[in-house]
Structure 1
Amino acid sequence: MKEKIGTVQATLLVVSTILPTALIVLPLIIGKYLEQDSPIAVILTALLGLAIAWLIGSVVKSSNGEPFLDWIKGITSPVFAFIIGILLLQYYMDTMAAILREYVNFIRDNVLPNTPDAVLAVIIMLVALYMTDRGIVAIARINSIATLLIAIIVPLYLGGLIPHFSLPRLLPVLDHSAASLALATLTPAGWMSEVGILLFLSPYLRHPNKASRIALIGSCIVSAILLVDILATLLVLGPQYIKSVNYPIFSTVSIIQVGRYIENLDILFTSFWIMNVYMKLAIFTFVTVQCFKQTFRVQNDRPYNVALSLIAIVECLYTWSDPGKIDAYNQQGRMVVFLLFNILLPLGILLWTRIKGTDTAKKGVKT
C-alpha cells in the first residue's frame, strides 16, 4: 500500500500553496485600494476564503479520494472530463509559469541582479522538477519542516517590529468607499482559491473525508499571517509605503535588529520565503503533471515532466518578461481565472452531484 499524506501535512501543503506569492502580491494590491483600511479587506477576504475552502473540501469529500478527472468522467461523460482536463491543464501551466516568473523577478531584484533570467529560471525549475520526481509524500514531509518555521519566524518578526509601531498610522478608519473595499477584497480572494489544488491531491490524502477541515484550517493560517504582515507594515512604514513598494514585508524585516551582534534578520526571512516558494512551485508542478496524466491517460509521466517544465520556462521568459505586465494581470485579470477554475467549476460540479443524487433517490423511491 502506498504511503499517503496525513491531515496536518495536507494542511501545511495548503499554506505553502497560497502563502509565498500572497505575501508579496496581495499587500500591494490591497494597499493600492484601501491604504490604512487594508486590514478590513484581509478580514473580508478571509471570510470569502473560508467559503471557497468549504466548497473545495465538499467536492473532494464527494469524490471520496478518486482521481478528480476519473471521478468527473464517471458522473458526466468522457468528453466532458477531457474538456475540463484540457482547460485545467492550461490553468495550472499558466499558474506554474507565473510563480516561476515572480520568483525569478525576486531573485534578480534582491539577490542576483547580474544573472540572466534564463539561467535563474532553468535552475529554479530543475530543483522543482527534482522535488516533483520524489513524489508528493516527500514534498509534504519537507514542506512540513519548512512551514513549521513560521512558529519561529512570526515571533521574531513581531518582537523586532513592536518598538517601531505607531498606531496613528492606522487612522482615519473607514476612510474609503465601498467600491474600493470590494476591489480590495475580491481580487485577493482569488489567491485563497488556490486551495483548489486539493482536487488533484485527493487520491494521496489519508483521509479525503477531512478535506474541508484541511482547506479551512489552511486558509485560516494564511489569512492570519497575511493580516499580521499588513498590520505590521502599516504600523511601521505607513499607508503610503504599502501601496508603492513591491516587497513591503522585506522592507519591514530589514529594519529589525536584535542586540549589538545579531542584526539585519532579513536574510533569515528571505531564506524562509525562498524555501516556501520552492515548495509552492513543486506543489503546482506536481499538480500540473497529475492533471496531464489524468487528461491523457498517461502512465509513465517522467518524459512529460521535462516537457511541461520546458513549456513553463518558455512562458515565464517570454509571456511574462515585462514585470508591469504580470503586475497588471495579478491586479486585474487573475481574479477572473481564479473565479472560473477554482470557484465556478467546483461549484458547478458540486451542484451536479447534488442534483444527480436527488434524481437517483427519487428513482429509487418510485421503484
Structure 2
Amino acid sequence: MEKAKISASQLFILMVLFELGSSLLLPIAIEAKQDAWLAILLGMVSSFILFLIYHKLYLYYPDLLPTEYMQKLLGKVIGTILAFVYILYFLYDASRVLRDFGEMLLTFSYPDTPLFIASALLILVTIYTVRKGIEVIARSGEILFIFIYVLAIIGFILIVCSGLIDVTNLKPVLEEGILPVLRVTFTQILYFPFGEAIVFTMILPYLKNPKKAKVTMLCATGLTGVNLAITMLINISVLGVDLTARSQFPLLSTVQSIQVADFLERLDVFFMLALVIGGFFKISILFYAAVIGTANLFKVKSPSQLSYPLGLIILFMSMTISSNFQEHLHEGLRIEMLILHIPLLAIIPPFLLLIAFLRNRKKQRW
C-alpha cells in the first residue's frame, strides 16, 4: 500500500464525485418514465445494505486491501483469481466511463475530432493524477467539489428563471404501479451508480479515522441519491419523458434550453466542464484502485510504475468495447448488469462476509 492517509471529509467528497460521475450524464432509470426519480431514491436506500456489507468486511480487515483479504478468506489460488477479476472489473468500468465522456465531448464540442484523441487527452491527465497518489486525488476533489456545486446552483436558478419547468410532465405518479419502478431499481440503479462504489473498499484502508467510515459512506450516498433524483426531476419536467429517453445526454439538452432575457444562452459549455470533472474523478478512482490492486497482487514495489501500461489498457479498451454509442449504452445497461454488476457487487461480497464471520467466530472461540 501507498503510505498515505485521507480524512473522512475527503472520502465523502470523493464518493459524491464518483457516484455523480457518469450518472449525471446519462438518462438513468428512464425506463421508469416519469417515476425515474423515485427509482433513484429507492436504489439509494437499497444500496445502504450493500455499503453495510462492504463496511463490515472492512472492519474485519481494516489494514488490508480486498486483494489481500480475499486470499485469506478463499485461499491463495481462488483468492488471487477473484482479486484479479475485480482488478479487471475496475479497468473495464474505467474504460466505459472514459468512452461516455469521449462521446460527450465529440457530440457537443468537437464533432470533427477523432474519439481516440479526446479519450487520450482525458486519460493522460488521469494518469498524471494517479501517479501522484490518493492524497493528491483527494485534495483535488476538495477544490473542484465546491466549483461543481456552485455551477449546479447557478444552473438550477437559471432553469427556474427561464420558465422551462413544466410540472405536468411528472404526472401521473406511479401510472403503471410500483412494479416497473422496483424492476428498474433492482436491475439498474442499485448497481449503477451506487453499487459501483465497491471500489472504495480499496480506498478505506487509507482512512485516518476508521470509525467514521460507515457514516461517511452512507451520508455521501444519501447526498448523491438526492442530487440525482432532483436532476432527473428537472430533466423530465423540462424535456418530457420521451425526449429525455431519446436524448443521449439529457442534462446537457436541458441546459441548452436555458434562455434568460434573450442574451444568456448556450451555457452547456460551462456545464460540460462540471461533468468532465465528475468523469475525471470517477475514472481516477477506478484507475487508482486497479493500480494499487495490481501492485499488491503481483508484489510490485512502486505502484506508480503501473500507471502508464494500465492507462493504455483503459484507453484502448474504451475504443474497442463497442462500435458505436448506442451499442455502448445497451451493453452497459443490459449485458454488463447481468454478467458483471450483479455477481461482483451484490452476490460475492455477502458470500465473503459470511466466510469472514465464520472464520472470526472460530478464532474468538479459541
TM range, normalised to the smaller chain? over 0.9
| Mapped pair 1:172 → 2:180 | no
RMSD (CA atoms):
1.9
Change in Cα spacing, 1:209 to 1:335, as seen in structure 2 (3 Å) is farther
Matching of residues 137-286 of structure 1 within 5 Å: 137-162=135-160, 163-186=163-186, 187-191=188-192, 192-259=194-261, 262-286=264-288
For 2:219 and 2:148, how far apart are their aligned partners in 1? 15
- SS of the residue aligned with 2:174? coil
**Post-superposition offset of 1:351:** 1.4
> CA offsets, 1:239-264, max 9 Å, x none?
22111111111111122245566444
Report the counterpart of residue 112 of structure 1 in structure 2: 110
**2:232 and 2:9 mapped to 1: Cα distance?**
26
User: Which of 98, 101, 117 lines up with 1:100 in the alignment?
Assistant: 98
> In the alignment, what sits opposite 1:326?
328
| 1:64-79 alignment runs, 5 A limit | 64-79=62-77
Separation of aligned partners in 2, 1:204 and 1:121: 29
- Per mean C-alpha deviation after superposition, the further-off stretch among 61-70 and 220-229 is 61-70
User: Structure 1: which amino acid aligns with 2:136?
Assistant: A
2:337 alignment partner AA: M
Q: Which residue of 2 aligns with 1:127?
A: 125
Q: In the TM superposition, what whole-angstrom CA distance separates every residue of 1:96-150 from its partner, at most 9, and x where no partner exists?
A: 1111111111111111111112222222111110010111100111012112234
From 43, 46, 54, the equivalent of 2:44 is 46
Structure-1 separation of matches of 2:203 and 2:264: 41
Q: Using the TM superposition, give the Cα deviation of residue 228 of structure 1 relative to its aligned residue in structure 2, in angstroms.
A: 0.8
Query: Quick check: 37-46 or 173-182, which moved more?
Result: 173-182
Deviation, structure 1 residue 169? 1.4
8 Å CA contact 1:58, 1:211 repeated in 2: no
What is the CA–CA distance in structure 2 between the aligned matches of 1:103 and 1:358, rounded to whole Å?
46
The Cα of 1:9 is off from its aligned counterpart by 0.5
Q: SS of the residue aligned with 2:203?
A: helix
Unaligned runs of 5+ residues in structure 2 are: none
- Matched letter for residue 225 of structure 2: S
TM-score normalised by L of structure 1: 0.92
Change (3 A) 1:118 1:193: same
- Number of positions where the alignment pairs a residue of Structure 1 with one of Structure 2: 360
Provide the rounded CA distance (Å) in 1 between the counterparts of 2:352 and 2:154.
Answer: 44
Provide the C-alpha distance between the structure 1 equivalents of 2:260 and 2:344, rounded to a whole number of angstroms: 45
CA 1:49–1:150 in structure 2 vs 1: closer, same or farther (change >3 Å)? farther
CA distance, structure 2, for counterparts of residue 309 and residue 193 of structure 1: 23
Equivalent residue letter for 1:350:
L
Which residue of structure 2 aligns with residue 30 of structure 1?
A: 29
Change (3 A) 1:80 1:226: same
